[in-house]
Structure formats: structure tokens, C-alpha cells
Structure 1
């Protein structure tokens, strides 16, 4: 005769009814769950059902505990929290359809009110044409002085293309005013333009001042020699004047390099 299962019946019980009885089984020391064979013997069930019941017991043991936190009852005596102020909403600059935005009002300064805003008037650039009148007589004086000093220091007429153009000749004395004065004017422009790197601006400043000083000394030397009826300049003046074309070439190449430099 088949022994009855739980609740006095020998019919198979569902897993939900067997689970409480499986929790109440006495287990030997060192065991956390009953074995599948014991579940089969105790409840007269098959191996699949006993395995499912054992899996439910193990799942209950590993499930996290239920949230037992109690809801805090608000203190009626506590002051209610003030709501945070809403962030201001910036107005939409786009006008609504059909509405024409107002024209901006131009601020005009009042007479006798220095604290009021005034509309700036356009500034007219300074005229530069008087420089031409200043440069013409200076050009004549500087040109004649350098050419005369070149004649006293050995500069003169040469034939640069012998055998090619024997009739072509040039007075090398013109290289002095063209080289020295042209470089001085260009270096002065680079210095005062403010549109070049700092290294080029410093080089242009000092070389422009030096070129203008050399030009002034050349004019002084020429007029002193002519006033003293000297037909040939001393050796030290000849030496200084003869190296001017080479010095101008070197300074011009250096300044052109510095102007184009990005360092």
C-alpha cells in the first residue's frame, strides 16, 4: 500500500504546496538543503519534480532580502520646504509673424553733456602729398652729394659689358645714393608699419637709423672736401665709402628674410 503524502492524500501535490513542507524538513548538521533523493522519498515524487523543488529552495536562499525600510512619516511641525525659483526664460529675439520689430534708436550726444554717448565721426586720414615737395629738393641734394663723394673716392664711369656692348657705360657713383638712401627709406617704412615680426622690426629700426646717419655723414664729408678744394678723399673715407654697396646688399637681404619669417 502506498504511503500518503502531505495533507493525508496520496495524490501528487503541486510544487507550491510541497515548498513549505520542504522548508520544514530537519536537516543534518552541515547541510543547507535536503538532497533530491530525500525529497523523492519524503513526498513520493519523481526525480524531475524533486529537482525542480530543490532548485526553488536554493533560489529562495540566494534571493536578496525584501526591502524592509520603513516610510518616514513627515513631521507636521517641520516647516514646508520652499520651492526652488524657476530659471528666467530669455525672450525670443525672433519677432512673431506679421509684427515688425522697432527700429534701433541712435544715441546722440547732447550739447554740454559730456556723460552722454556720442556717435563717433569718421576720421579722415592725413594727407601725404606734401612729402613729395619735401622729397624733391632733398633728392637733388642727396644725389649730387653722393655722386660727388663717389667721384672723390674712386667711383666713376665704367664699361660693364666689354666685348658685348662696348658703347654702354655707367657711372658707378650712382650706386651710392640708390643703395644707401633707398634702403634707409625702406627700413624706416618697415619699422613704423607695425605689420612685421618683432625681430624684423628691431632690425629695421636700428638699420634705418644707421643708414640715415651714414647718409648724413656722407653729405658732410663731401661738402667739407669740396670746401677744402680736396680732389681726392683720404684713404679712410675712401675705405668707408667703398664698402657701402656691400653693406647695403647684406642688410637688404637680411631684412627681406626677417620680414617673411614667422618666428
Structure 2
């Protein structure tokens, strides 16, 4: 059996018939009800609930404007009672015009006409009509980022030279990546260390601090960024200690660790790129 609506009938009712009860619901909630609340309360579908909610919003906007206009007129001494545009069903009926005492109409001698311009009414409505609305905060200027360039320049020189020097002590050096195609082209394979380790560390640090990636990607970026920065620091320490001691060939365990760095960076970069694009 279909549940009865608020007016005791089981047949669909128009929005005009549901509007008084929706006003009472808005007054009891002290706020506009949601579409789902209207659908549940009045047993109506989504289109009718949307139309009803739109009518309530329009009435709320008109009432707010009337309140602001009333307050402005009270300040000017031209009105003493609030204006209610949309009374609810539970309001008490007004006095019978037949039995109401005669009240003399205001004349030009007893009441001074007040002319309100649209600009003045809008100004009052914006500041007084909504006392509960918080004042928007002033826009905050973002911090400048150009000092990072000055910080990065000396760090780039020191990190690059340290990694290239350590690569030379661990077997990295000049290679010909295109034999038979471009025999004269050569490259120092030691540059793969600063490019791979430090670039991945900066990228993982950005992903971690951005806050715009899924939780697993952010956790992986956090720990891999810290690990990459720690490995970079240890690489610099190892190079300077070996260089200060006059060592021309790094021990086998340092050579093993340095040789594995390009492979480790490739794996961590691929894993982080996969996690960033996964939203499960």
C-alpha cells in the first residue's frame, strides 16, 4: 500500500500543495532541507523534490532581502515591525478587518517618505541582512619560490661533483653507448648517479608534500624520499672520506651499493608513478 502524504492522500500532490509543509520543515530545521530529506518526508520523487527545494531557496532569498530592507527602514525611523513575506501554517491568524479599530492613515505631515536606492539596499543587505555569515578572509599571498634557485645552485655543484667523483672511484666512467652507429659519441656513465638519485628524491618529496595523491602513494613517496635523501648524503660522505684518504679505488661493498643505485631508482620511480595513478 502506498504511504499517505502529509495531506492524508495517497495520490501525488503538486508542489504548491506541499510548499506550506516544506516551509514549516525549513523553520523547524532552521535551515533549508536537503533533497533527500524532502523526498523522504513527503514521499515524492527527485524532480518534484528539486522543484520544491528551488522554490524554498527563492523564498529564502526574498525573505533575506526583505529583512535587510526592513532593518534599513528601521534605522531611518520609518518602520517598527518586521516584514514576513512567507508565513508558515502555524502562524496565528491576523485580526478581523471588520472588528479592527480604525487607524488613521499616515499623511505627508505625520510620516516622511523615504527613498531607498538599490545601491543602499544592497549595501545594507550585504552587511546586516546575514549576521551569521562569516566575513571572508583576505586572500593570502603565496610564498615566493625563487630563493630555492639560489639554494639549489651551490647544492647542485657539490652534489654533482660528489656523485661523479664517487662514480669514478667505483668503476663508472667513459662509455660509448652507440657502437657501430655513432662510434665517436661517448658519455661519462657517472652522471647517471646524481641525475637518478637526486631527481627521484626531489620528485618523491614533491609527491609526499603535495597532498593530492592516494594514501598508499603518499606513504611510499614519504619513505622513499627520506631514503633517497639519506642515500644521497651517505654518497657524499663516502666520496669525501675516500678522497681525503687518497683512495683511488672504492672498497667492494661501496662499489656494490653504488652499482645498484640506478636499478633501485628505476624500480622506485616506476612504482611511485603506478601508485600515483591508482585510486582504488
TM-score when normalising by structure 2: 0.56
- Answer yes or no: is 1:144 the counterpart of 2:158: no
Counterpart contact for 1:146–1:177, Cα < 8 Å: yes
Residue 185 of structure 1: aligned partner: 202
SS of the residue corresponding to residue 122 of structure 2 reads coil
Matches within 5 A, 1:104-183: 104-105=123-124, 106-107=126-127, 119-183=136-200
Per-residue deviation, 1:142? 0.2
Q: Does 1:208 align with 2:225?
A: yes
1:228 aligns with 2:249: no
CA offset at residue 148 of structure 1?
A: 0.2
Query: 2:219 and 2:237 mapped to 1: Cα distance?
Result: 27
The C-alpha deviation readout for 1:100-152, integer Å capped at 9, x for no partner, is 592043549xxxxxxxx655211110111000000000000000000000000
2:122 match: 103
Distance of 1:161 and 1:234 partners within structure 2: 30
Q: Whole-Å Cα distance in 1 between the matches of residues 255 and 216 of structure 2?
A: 33
| Structure 2 residue 265 is the aligned partner of structure 1 residue 248 | yes
Aligned partners of 1:151, 1:122: CA distance in 2, in Å?
52
Structure 2, unaligned stretches of length 5 or more? 1-19, 25-55, 67-116, 129-133
Distance across 1 between alignment mates of 2:211 and 2:136: 28
Residue 187 of structure 1 contacts residue 208 of structure 1 at CA under 8 Å; is this kept in 2? Answer: yes
Instruction: Return the alpha-carbon distance in structure 2 between the equivalents of residues 236 and 255 of structure 1.
Output: 28
Q: Within 2, Cα distance between the matches of 1:224 and 1:176?
A: 18
Q: How large is the Cα RMSD of the aligned pairs? A: 2.7
Please state which structure has a larger fraction of its residues in helix: 2
Q: Structure 1: where are the runs of 5+ without partners? A: 1-85, 109-116
For residue 213 of structure 2, give the secondary structure of its aligned residue in structure 1.
coil
SS of structure 2 residue aligned to 1:121: coil
> What is the number of equivalent residue pairs in this alignment?
169
Cα distance in 2 for residues equivalent to 1:172 and 1:149? 12
